[in-house]
Structure 1
Amino acid sequence: MFDFFSTLIAFLLIHIVCDFYLQSNHCAQAKKANTYRSPELYLHSLLHGIGLLVPALVLGLGWRSTVCLVIIVAVTHFIIDLWKVITPNGDKFSYFMIDQALHISVLAVIAFHIADGVTVDAVLAHEKFSDVVMVVFAYLLILKPTSIVIGSVLKKYPISCTDKNRISGLVAGGELIGYLERLLILTFTLMGSYVAVGFVLAAKSIFRFGELNKSDDRSMTEYVLIGSLLSVVITTLVGTLISLMLAVNIK
């Protein structure tokens, strides 16, 4: 009997080892330079397929299923990596995330296929399915939608500063900081670690204090504080509401 999550974790372990630890910078550069003519691309893809022999043997997978597993993973990995290296600006972080998501999706589909007793209906009917949906919804809500809401509010409070380059850099950096901050706050709130939430706020305040203390522009200080407080308030409210809903479901 194969458990879906155990199978998927075993597959992901091999993927991480082969894709990050067994792939050198030279190999990555060679794939990008020579694309489909690169021997490194074929060897790298084949390595991912052969590497899965280890979990296949440990899990006791049949030889026919093992052969199919190796072929499917090797071929799909080749196609995905080839797409990435021939795509302009394929070394950007967004393409890296898409690349990894595609690889993981292939492994997840295979694990789902060979797992015993796992069907779409069984997943939808699972008692924890609604909890997972709520948590995923919370994380999606506090990222881009919350960023848009904060940006809309901040438009009402323009910065009276002539240095546009500095403002642009601050806003771009502030958006990324806001994403990371909200991810941490939501995670700690859902875990009930409110002390850790306070630590995140204190750490950010310390780092921001030096920057704002040197600024003679009061509007800049107020701009940052409004954005930070909105980020914290929205994320805390979302985390608290989801925590209450999860507690109700448990009862």
Structure 2
Amino acid sequence: MLDFFGVLIPFLLIHIICDFYLQPNQWGEEKKGYTYRSPALYLYSLLHGVALIVPAALLGIDWCSVIYLVVIVTLSHCAFGLWKVATKKANKSSCFVIDQALHVSILAVFAFYVTDGITMNAVLQHEKFSDGVLVVFAYLLILKPSSVVIGRLLRNYPIASSGSESDPNVSGLVAGGELIGYLERVLILTFTLVGSYAAVGFVLAAKSIFRFGELSKSNDRSMTEYVLIGSLVSVVITTLVGTLVSLGLGSDIK
């Protein structure tokens, strides 16, 4: 009997190897320059499809299903590859995330299809399903909703002007602070859920060291207070969410 993750993980391993290790940089340039006329596009697509024969054969999947898998994966990589090179004005990061999510979804659907004895009803009734939903909810909660709450709170504490010393030009990456906040909250929540509170302290200490170097060069006290308020609110929200979710998971286990 085949296990869902026992099928999905080898497929994902092949996808990662083909997409990030076996694909030459030259192929990417050729696909951008020649689009559908590029031989690299079809070699790249065929590589992904044919490579999946190896784990499929080792897992003993019937050849009819393997042929369907090779055809679907090859065509999907060709279609998504054309889509990426055709949307030149689109955000490259968004295209990359969408492209990878679609490929993983196709492999997950096929793994679900060939897995014996698994139905959607069985997945929904699994003892760990509610725990998984709770953890996903926690991660979603600490990202965009938390950013909105922190942003609204900081509006009540605007940075005061310091006369001629104030610089209207803000240096740094566009939306860099929001991304740093996302990463910080994801790390804190992850370490809280696994009970590694020492690692949480390490994250806070590392951020404080970098922030201290930045803020020590500024004579604007309001900027320092502004950054501290945002950081502490972010930590408080994430810690509370992580603690509540950990308690919920603990009660389910008992």
Please indicate the TM-score interval, normalised by the length of the shorter structure. Answer: over 0.9
Offset at residue 37 of structure 1 (A): 1.0
Offset at residue 117 of structure 1 (A): 1.2
1:183 aligns with 2:186: yes
**Distance in structure 2 (CA, Å) of the matches to 1:28 and 1:171:** 27
CA deviations over 1:155-211 (Å, ceiling 9, x no partner):
1111134433316x3772211111110010000000000111011111111111111
Match of 1:165 among 166, 169, 178: 169
**Structure 1 residue runs without a partner (length 5+):** none
Aligned ranges 1:32-47 → 2 under 5 Å: 32-47=32-47
Aligned ranges 1:83-102 → 2 under 5 Å: 83-90=83-90, 92-102=92-102
Distance verdict in 2 for CA 1:171–1:146, change over 3 Å: farther
**Distance in structure 2 (CA, Å) of the matches to 1:123 and 1:33:** 45
Contact 1:185–1:235 at 8 Å: present in 2 too? yes
Offset at residue 88 of structure 1 (A): 2.4
Aligned ranges 1:19-58 → 2 under 5 Å: 19-58=19-58
**Distance in structure 2 (CA, Å) of the matches to 1:131 and 1:26:** 44
Greater than 6 Å deviation, 4+ residue runs: none
Aligned to 1:244: 247
Aligned to 2:210: 207
Aligned to 2:139: 139
Aligned to 1:149: 149
**Distance in structure 2 (CA, Å) of the matches to 1:98 and 1:64:** 29
CA deviations over 1:60-117 (Å, ceiling 9, x no partner):
1111111111111111111111111111235611111111001111111111111111
Aligned to 2:234: 231
**Distance in structure 2 (CA, Å) of the matches to 1:77 and 1:173:** 32
RMSD of Structure 2 on Structure 1 (CA): 1.3
Aligned to 2:219: 216
Amino acid at match of 1:103: H
Distance verdict in 2 for CA 1:91–1:43, change over 3 Å: farther
Offset at residue 32 of structure 1 (A): 1.4
**Distance in structure 2 (CA, Å) of the matches to 1:229 and 1:164:** 25
Match of 1:194 among 194, 197, 215: 197
Amino acid at match of 2:241: V
Offset at residue 10 of structure 1 (A): 0.6
Offset at residue 54 of structure 1 (A): 0.5
Secondary structure at the counterpart of residue 163 of structure 1: coil
CA deviations over 1:24-82 (Å, ceiling 9, x no partner):
11101111111111110011000000000110111011111111111111111111111
* Number of aligned positions between the proteins: 250
More helix per residue: 1
Secondary structure at the counterpart of residue 157 of structure 2: coil
TM-score when normalising by structure 2: 0.95
* Amino-acid identity (%): 69
Secondary structure at the counterpart of residue 186 of structure 1: helix
Contact 1:90–1:96 at 8 Å: present in 2 too? no
